[in-house]
Amino acid sequence: MIELLDELPDDVLGFRFSGHVTRDEYTQTLLPVLKQRVDGDGKIRMLVVIDDAFEKFEAGALWEDAKFGLGSGLTHLGKWERTALVSDTDWARHAIGLFGWMVPGDIRVFPLAELDAATAWLDG
């Protein structure tokens, strides 16, 4: 499931991932909001929370993410300013350690207990 986080500063997009994330959830929940921000005038600051109930991304959701990144995402690389990944899962932290260089802009990883600190960093 993808939940849009709405109690954030105006310039911060936020998403919580839990359970099983499907292609339909990705294309109907995350992608429209992200495309709107990419097409706008401001920079992108994104909060991604992966909670302990997260199980997996459906292959179709990963494909949609890859298509976005290789399509409009590449043409707007300069728009990404900061991304905060908030999670206690080891695999998420290791993935950022290995592939964080591929994420445009600055990226930082925070434990779930530091969600407020992650939001403050994004808003700063």
pTM of the model: 0.85
Q: Residues 53-92: pLDDT tens digits?
A: 888 877 877 767 776 665 555 566 778 899 999 999 888 8
Rounded Cα gap, residues 2 and 59, in angstroms: 15
Note the pLDDT of residue 115.
97
Domain 2-123 has CATH 3.30.1360: no
Sorted by sequence, the CB contacts under 8 Å of residue 87 that are 6+ apart come out as: 49, 50, 51, 54, 93, 109, 111, 112
pLDDT of residue 109 exceeding 80, the answer is yes
Note the pLDDT of residue 17.
92
Q: Residues 30-41: pLDDT tens digits?
A: 889 888 888 888
Provide the token pair at 8.
């954030």
* Pair type for strands 44-57 and 80-87: parallel
Note the pLDDT of residue 18.
93
